[in-house]
Structure 1
Amino acid sequence: MTLWTAIATTAAFFGLMASSALAQPTGLSNPLSARGALSNVDPRLDDGSFYDRYDFAGRSGEYVTIYLESEDFDPYLILLDPAGERLSENDDISRTNDDSRLVVRLPSTGTYTVLANSYESGSLGQYSIRIDVEEDRESLVRTLTAAALPGSSQTCISAVSAATEEIEASGAVSALVSSLQLSRLYETTPNSRPYGVYLSLSGASTMSFFLSPQFLERLSSDLIESCSSVGAVFFGSSSLQEEKIFGLLLESQSTGAQSWRVEPFVCINGAQSPTSQRTSQRLRWGQQVCSS
């Protein structure tokens, strides 16, 4: 089978295509990913924001992850079910990542529609979109981990997957992983550790995890030890507006020597978390802004 035959076969299987209101394809560089642009000739939603449309075929019970990334505008994702009803939508992956991501278990078999959109009306610019389809939750976790920390060792990927599985073991909490550039938030970061791992928690027992700092600190220590590019681990929940951060901090010994240890970051007063603000002002390493 030639490369082009493989591409055509995969494209036919997933049924992924891009179109506008005039059903004109925008073109795909890969059956499951594309680069595009919002322009003033694209169709608009009622709020005045432009969008491009992508259709894909999915089966009931599959897990679909959709990423929309842009340097030019604040991405916004909308997923429509086969009947054309809104199934899910997302603005930011987390309070520290302005890109958009949807993770959805498909309720039925059929053709789904993704709208690559912007949060603000009238925004224009380049973007990239990717759609991953997994048959089970375990495969989904590994795909999310690999996407969050590209180029990481298998040891790191396994550690993040194990942490996610441990959090979800109770069945009352789900955890989705993403990553962030620490330099966007902090003036300085540990050498050769530019990334943070962000675990977004949701479910009935989410609060119990935030009330268990020893458990979160242990998970953070395991992740930082296993992932050589990770300097901090963030635990967040959009429903609780809560965030806990654990990272490598330099500790002085009685002998005068210094060593790195994983410790909780210290809260400083603030009406809003810095992770919710798009600003150039950065914190000192080891700090986080808390609402109370």
Structure 2
Amino acid sequence: MTHAFLASSKATAAPRSLGALKLSTKRVGERSAIDRFRTSGSTKVAFPRRADAVEAIVLNTAGGLTGGDRFELSAQAGPGSHLVVTTQAAERAYRSQSGVARIRTHLSVADGAVLHWLPQELIVFDGASIDRQLDVDLDPGATLVLVESMVFGRRAMGETVTQGRVRDTIAIRRNDAPIYWDRVDLGGNIAERLARPALGAGLGALATVLCCGPHAEACLPRIRALLPETGGASLVADDVLSIRLLAEDSFLLRRALVPVLEVLTATHLPKSWSL
């Protein structure tokens, strides 16, 4: 009886996904090239041909995130190189039966290097439990453009997030000194919390965009001209531009985000953003 019970428990246990990526780039002549690359578990990467940078498209083959999942990503742009990291599609955080889905990302950008961190949005479903942390280390002379966005339920499908927990942290350091720290921490009835005027005023999609580099201050007037009434931009320092956007749904969020990111990166977004 004991053996039969154990066998049944193993057969019905909820699966857990693990994934990891380590990627670094280097300068070779006039081009950027892959220096080191390794993946494991549910994390896969495609590298489209691109002349001006190494572009990495990250894919979660598990099909989404749920309680107990663990993903780790490390991306390093070596001196003088240009690295662009994006995702194949929007990530999805599904209802958690138990535990928390944890995502840990570490980016580092060397002197003279450029890193564009451009994942598509995270869609949070009712009952999701997720803890996401992004740590960035910058050398002097490094350039970074990053976006992190979340959508709470799909409005077109009539979805709302009445329960769940989302913790999303971004920390940026230069020469080991902190220059930016931000956390979104929402729990319980998330839809009710986002309905508060001081939080989301009923809007269900949000994005944080950061630009660290010598062109940050010069971009500020153009960015402010592009932002809707539900967006704002300010200089945290002369070379650190912080932007926050709110929108009703993912479509309107993207419509505001794309021109902002194209100004900051001075190029078109990866093709996966338009698929």
Q: TM-score, normalised by structure 1?
A: 0.30
Which has the greater radius of gyration? 1
Higher strand share: 2
